[in-house]
Amino acid sequence: MTASPRVHVFPPPMDHHYPVQDGRVQTRSLEAHVVDHCNLTCAGCCSLSPLLPDWYADPAQLARDLALAARVLRPRVFKLVGGEPTLHPALPELIQVVKASGIAPKVSVTTNGLKLADMPEAFWRDVDALTISRYPRPRLTDDLVAHVEDQAARFDVSLNWKAQDTFTQMDRETPLGDGPDARALFRDCWIRERCHLIRDGVFYTCTRPAHFQTLHGDTGAFADDGLRLDDEPGMLDTLLAYLQREAPLQACLHCQGGSAPVAPHRMLSRRQIHAIKAAYP
Ligand code: SF4
Ligand code: SF4
């Protein structure tokens, strides 16, 4: 294992293609966000973590979600994401739930790395891959990086060190109208193909609606952006139609998409977070 960063192509190419094999749609990835909160406060966090209350995924609910999803979906990798997933005290159990579901050949965790020195052996034994975001501040110490590399080598865990000096500024202050611009934004947004989410029995083509719903509360209609999974025979066709829809999500009206302009990475202060949250119910 080495610490050399992987080269990322940005924006990633889209293919608008969802092949079906053995009754399951073959996708790049599927993810579950296992906590909403984080130990950092990055401005422009895609998951809106600095603005959201603490929340922990229930392993039993994740198992139910995956049982439904595995009937119609075959992602190449299943990702446990957050917020910061290492804040979940049952993260090793959650990894085992994903493995037991058989939904994907690989289980990955996406983390800012700060708590990786605290992870128990069960975590290192069961996880297949880690994507570790590296921000200009706070920097991971050399000792922590060395520990991660040693553990990864010992337990045969793939490491993807991802330098994040800049952040895509996806949030939109004034909502977009539900017209041609929103349709084009959704059509061309690579996130709709690469960041599929499962949460509370609902599949989302992008992670944003579930978090917008938490942020906006009863005033939002973002839950309708997802597709509730069931075990009826028509689910596969319904899923394919959902993946290929042309109508933008409600969330797209509040978003600039995955190819929005970038800005240097920075942390929000507590005061800035309070000011942003004051605009929501
Ligand atoms: S570390 Fe990740 S989840 Fe946490 S605030 Fe930053 S971007 Fe969001
Ligand atoms: S524009 Fe935003 S909300 Fe719409 S699919 Fe892309 S990332 Fe998701």
Q: What is the pLDDT of residue 4?
A: 52
Residues of the chain with pLDDT under 70: 1-10
- Give domain status of residue 11, yes or no: no
- Read off the pLDDT of residues 141-170 as tens digits, 9 standing for 90 and up: 999 999 999 999 999 999 999 999 999 999
Q: Which of 60, 12, 64 is nearest to 194 (CA)?
A: 12
Q: What is the pLDDT of residue 2?
A: 47
| 1 CA distance to ligand 2 middle (Å) | 34
| 255 CA distance to ligand 2 middle (Å) | 6
Q: What is the pLDDT of residue 8?
A: 61
Q: Could you give the count of Cα atoms lying within 13 Å of 42 in the half-sphere of its Cβ?
A: 29
Q: Structural domain of residue 121, as residue ranges? A: 20-277
Q: What is the pLDDT of residue 15?
A: 77
165/122 Cα distance (integer angstroms): 31
Q: What is the pLDDT of residue 17?
A: 86
Nearest atom, ligand 2, residue 192 CA: 5
- Give domain status of residue 83, yes or no: yes
Its sign, for the CA torsion 279, 188, 245, 16, is negative
Which CATH number characterizes residue 40's domain? 3.20.20
- Read off the pLDDT of residues 165-191 as tens digits, 9 standing for 90 and up: 999 999 998 999 999 999 999 999 999
Decide: 63 and 89 in contact? Cβ < 8 Å.
no
Question: Any residues with Cβ below 6 Å from ligand 1, and which?
Answer: 38, 40-42, 45, 47, 49-50, 82-84, 112
- Based on the structure, what is the number of domains in the chain? 1
- Give domain status of residue 15, yes or no: no
- Give domain status of residue 240, yes or no: yes
pTM of the model: 0.95
Q: What is the pLDDT of residue 14?
A: 83
Residue nearest to atom 1 of ligand 2 (CA): 257
